Amino acid sequence: MKRSLSVVLLAVVFVQQVFAQSIDEGKKFMYYERFNSAKEVFTKLLAANAKNEDAAYWLGQAYLGLEDVAKAKQTYQTALQGNPTSPLLLAGMGQVELIENKTTDARNHFDMAVNTSKSKDIDVLHAVGRANAYTKAGDANYGITMLQKATTLKGFKDPSVYVTMGDAYRKLVDGGNAVLAFKNALAINPTYAAAKHKEGLIYESQKNKEFFLPAYEEAVRMDPNYGPAHYSLYFYWYFRDVTKAEDYLNKYIAAIDSDPQNDYYRIDLKYASGQFAEAVSQSDAMINKIGANVIKPRIYRLKAYSFKSMGEASYKEKDTATGIKHFTSAKASITEFFQKAKPEDIVPKDFEVIGDILSNTPGSESQAYANYERAMNMDTAADNKASYLQKAVDLAKKQKDKGAIAYWLQKQYNTKPSPSNVDLYNLGRAYFDAGSDGDFNYYRKSDSVFALYTEKYPDQAFGYYWRARSNWSIDTSMVNAMANPHFEKFVQIASTGKDSVSFRPQIKIAYKYFIGYNIFVKKDYKVAIEYCDKILAIDPADQEAADYKRQLTGGKTQSTGNSTAPAANQQKKPATGSKPAATKSPATSARKR
């Protein structure tokens, strides 16, 4: 009898060990991000024992890794029917609820899981931390608190807890504590490649090549089977060295689960190497092979990027018809991508590319602005924001849309940490030029910008001159003398400075304004003649000033018709102006504009 019991006991222990080994096998697949292989392991375990809560929890995690939230939810709901108080399953269900933005329900399940296990189960605390670290709606600080509790429990020696903690800190953009957590993981297991790889991700986010590239290389040396590190190296070399990129891609594909959709990476490398036509044809072949309803939307993005590059090449070769054809195809492909992609799969670059496509598609140019703005609002990198804004400015100039030029230059100015005097000048001029289309509000904005210019650079003549021009454009009859003080200040600075010679065209415009003002408003012909003399003193060949003086000294009154005296609307003509040199690099003379 005792022998029979011993045999039964040994059998039970043996089965438990087999299950434990299988759970560990599945968790190892999860570590390598081989979610399909993990799913197969946990599915078999659950089929053998429907009450195996570990298998149910990890099967749900495998489904989440495969981005199949519905299957994960179904797995947890089914398992909870048989074991409604299982802490692990409650934590898993909470993670699904976070994905569904049901934060209150999720927190209730997390608290139940922690309380039921009396805060003494490392796996449960880790599950709660994991849920909050890897979901957008998760509370990273709450997750870190749970993970820290896990590290204080007796017998703790799991490096993966520290890796999850590091990722939670990454979510909080706390690189220092994230790196510390990853180093703690490596202290437990010096060959834990995930920790070294994720340490590299921190340094890459800081653009610190001296640290992130060696970290990735060290991760693959620690564990050649750790696919994510191979992928990071492939991505780094993607646009730098196609041969190296291909080598790391081959290693990455060898390390991950077999999947027909893996062909995408090889096609993507065709794009990186400039083989755009091949990328398009192979993309179409892959769509036909896998099916348009099954294939991941990224293939349509790849097609769009390739068509865009082909269109740009055709335009460069002056083959406009072919270029338009390629951009039309690019527009169709990127539209399909946006229709099929999940919001979290769309990156700022996608909005930039659709902006580029629309700006080069006849009849669609105006739609490009909104996409450049979406890219700018979505991206957090200052350099990228500046690039999107410059594209919008360039498009507005290409379209000769003066209002749009002013709008985008204003946004560009607002985002610059230290805008220069030239930036401020260009913005004011853009508003002034936009006013020529008939909207006087632009002249008021121009006046405001150049008022700021005079405050920032009171010793420079440019601000006063363009304040005068702006106010003259508002007060076209000159009866309110709005431009007078600004022209006076401009002449005072421009005529006495070292650049006085280069400012002569603008000084003459100011004097001609005063000729008109004294003729039409003040009726003071003597002063008008004095301004004629001032013009002739700096430019004896100015025929217009000579004609004004001859008429005025001859006793003639201003007549209508073909008189050469300054008419009230003469200031509307575009005039040559000066543009300031940047204060960071002073020029010896102003440049004509």
Confidence tier at 20 by pLDDT (50, 70, 90):
low
Same domain, 515 and 583: yes
Same domain, 440 and 497: yes
Phi, psi of 93 (to 5 degrees): -65, -40
CA distances from 370 to 43, 183, 227 (A): 47, 44, 38
Same domain, 497 and 424: yes
Same domain, 286 and 243: no
Same domain, 202 and 275: no
Report the C-alpha gap between 215 and 204 in whole angstroms: 10
> Among residues 290, 308, 342, which one ends one of the domains?
342
> Encoding tokens for residue 341?
């992609």
Confidence tier at 581 by pLDDT (50, 70, 90):
low
In a domain, residue 13? The reply is no
In a domain, residue 140? The reply is no
In contact, 284 and 273? CB cutoff 8 Å: no
Quick one: CA dihedral 525, 530, 531, 535, positive or negative? positive
pLDDT digits (tens, 9 = 90+) for 211-269: 999 999 999 999 999 999 999 999 999 989 999 999 999 999 999 999 999 999 999 99
Same domain, 279 and 240: no
In contact, 146 and 124? CB cutoff 8 Å: no
Residue 589 has pLDDT above 90, yes or no: no
Residue 154 has pLDDT above 70, yes or no: yes
Instruction: Look up the CATH number of the domain holding residue 283.
Output: 1.25.40
Q: How far is CA 363 from the centre of its chain?
A: 26
Mean pLDDT of 161-189: 98
In a domain, residue 577? The reply is yes
Same domain, 438 and 305: no
In a domain, residue 92? The reply is no
Report the C-alpha gap between 268 and 302 in whole angstroms: 7
Q: Is 90 exposed, middle or buried (0-12, 13-18, 19+ CB in 10 A)?
A: buried
Helices 382-399 and 348-359: crossing angle, nearest 10°?
A: 10
Confidence tier at 571 by pLDDT (50, 70, 90):
very low
Report the C-alpha gap between 466 and 490 in whole angstroms: 9
> Encoding tokens for residue 507?
């000084």
Residue 351 has pLDDT above 60, yes or no: yes
In contact, 220 and 251? CB cutoff 8 Å: yes
Q: How far is CA 167 from the centre of its chain?
A: 22
Same domain, 201 and 324: no
In a domain, residue 546? The reply is no
> Among residues 342, 376, 393, which one ends one of the domains?
342
Instruction: Look up the CATH number of the domain holding residue 248.
Output: 1.25.40.10
Report the C-alpha gap between 90 and 112 in whole angstroms: 7
In a domain, residue 295? The reply is yes
Q: 521 CB contacts (<8 Å, ≥6 apart)?
A: 477, 478, 479, 481
In a domain, residue 397? The reply is yes
Same domain, 518 and 588: yes
Same domain, 387 and 245: no
Helix H, strand E, coil C: the string for 223-255 is: CCCCHHHHHHHHHHHCCCCHHHHHHHHHHHHHH
Q: Match 């078999």 to its residue by tokens.
A: 44
In contact, 425 and 456? CB cutoff 8 Å: no
Domain count along the chain: 4
pLDDT digits (tens, 9 = 90+) for 377-401: 999 888 899 999 999 999 999 999 9
Same domain, 249 and 276: no
pLDDT at 66: 95
Reading phi first (left if > 0) and then psi (alpha if -120 to 50, else beta), residue 169 is in: alpha
Percentage of the residues of the chain whose pLDDT score is greater than 90: 85
In a domain, residue 14? The reply is no
- DSSP H helix total and E strand total for the chain: 29, 2
Residue 11 has pLDDT above 80, yes or no: no
In contact, 499 and 490? CB cutoff 8 Å: no
pLDDT at 582: 52
Q: How far is CA 191 from the centre of its chain?
A: 35
Report the mean per-residue pLDDT for the chain.
Answer: 90
Please state whether beta strands 578-579 and 591-592 pair in parallel, antiparallel, or not at all (unpaired): antiparallel
pLDDT at 437: 84
Same domain, 204 and 283: no
pLDDT at 98: 98
Q: What is the C-alpha R_g of the chain?
A: 35
Confidence tier at 554 by pLDDT (50, 70, 90):
confident
| Amino acid symbol at 379 | D
In contact, 571 and 513? CB cutoff 8 Å: yes
Full domain range(s) for residue 484:
418-526+568-593
